[in-house]
């Protein structure tokens, strides 16, 4: 990542955005949760900064505690209104403050995010479609039945057909490979702005999967296979699994 000292007015920038809100019904304050001595949001930020295709990385938060931590650790951060339905809505609200051509939404609760996955999403980005979403094949059976893991079905052109927290497709007669959607998205400026202008769809609300907003409104979402652990922190118990993986790396 090329280091930038301030927000640049360059329309060709590729910008990594990390939404990080404080409130959570399952894990209050998780962006600052300690993982082997390093708060989670810093682990995510540092991993994102390793991506070669990103010109800059910015944390987007609703909380002064997160903003203060970022300031003390020289992490670029924008604090704003907390009334955002999804993390992508929060990214869209920051557009007036950040110029750029491509915006990558990186989840603030994935401290093991693979920088190469970010790069592949950017390198394969199709401006004519304007929306890409990363996915990985599911190899662990527990993920099929974990409602925190979003599954995706796509067509022969790799456009998303449906997302669900249930194991899809249902295997009535033939077994098939199932896929996990990652919370890693790339948008053109136009499509990111459009996302926030579209009303949240009924299926999006039912499944609590934000990319269903595009699908239900008839827009293509290009699925891109990447290499990644596909591990997020949804509850305090998830920190243990992350720490196990970190120990294996070391």
Better pLDDT: 139 or 241: 139
Q: Which fold has domain 14-235?
A: Spore Coat Polysaccharide Biosynthesis Protein SpsA; Chain A (3.90.550)
Query: Three-class SS of residue 35?
Result: strand
Model pLDDT for residues 19-37, shown as the tens digit of each residue: 998 877 678 888 999 999 9
For the stretch 85-107, pLDDT in tens is 888 999 999 998 998 999 999 99
Residue 247, exposed/middle/buried by CB under 10 A (0-12, 13-18, 19+)?
exposed
Return the SS3 of 27.
Answer: coil
Average pLDDT of the chain is: 90
Does the predicted model carry a pTM greater than 0.95? no
pLDDT tens-digit map of 187-243: 999 999 999 999 998 999 999 999 999 999 999 999 999 999 888 887 878 888 888
Domain range annotation of the chain? 14-235
Please say if the pLDDT value at position 5 is more than 50. Answer: no
Using CA atoms, how far apart are residues 120 and 126, in angstroms rounded to an integer? 12
């Amino acid at each position: 990542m090329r280091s930038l000292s301030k927000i640049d007015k360059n329309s060709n920038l590729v910008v990594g955005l990390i939404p990080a809100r404080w409130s959570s019904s399952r894990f209050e304050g998780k962006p600052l949760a300690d993982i082997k001595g390093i708060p989670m949001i810093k682990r995510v930020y540092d991993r994102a900064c390793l991506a070669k295709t990103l010109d800059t990385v910015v944390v987007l938060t609703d909380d002064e505690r997160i903003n203060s931590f970022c300031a003390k650790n020289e992490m670029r951060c924008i604090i704003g209104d907390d009334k955002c339905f999804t993390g992508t809505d929060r990214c869209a609200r920051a557009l007036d403050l950040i110029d750029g051509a491509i915006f990558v939404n990186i989840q603030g609760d994935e401290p093991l995010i693979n920088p190469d996955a970010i790069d592949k999403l950017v390198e394969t980005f199709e401006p004519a479609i304007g929306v890409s979403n990363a996915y990985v094949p599911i190899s662990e059976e527990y993920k099929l039945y974990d409602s925190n893991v979003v599954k995706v079905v796509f067509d022969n052109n790799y456009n998303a057909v449906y997302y669900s927290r249930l194991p899809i497709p249902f295997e009535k007669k033939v077994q098939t490979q199932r896929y996990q959607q990652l919370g890693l998205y790339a948008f053109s400026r136009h499509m990111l702005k459009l996302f926030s202008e579209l009303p949240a769809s009924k299926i999006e609300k039912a499944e609590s999967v934000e990319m269903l907003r595009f699908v239900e409104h008839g827009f293509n979402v290009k699925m891109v296979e990447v290499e990644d652990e596909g591990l997020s922190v949804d509850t305090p118990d998830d920190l243990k699994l992350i720490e196990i993986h970190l120990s294996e790396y070391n």
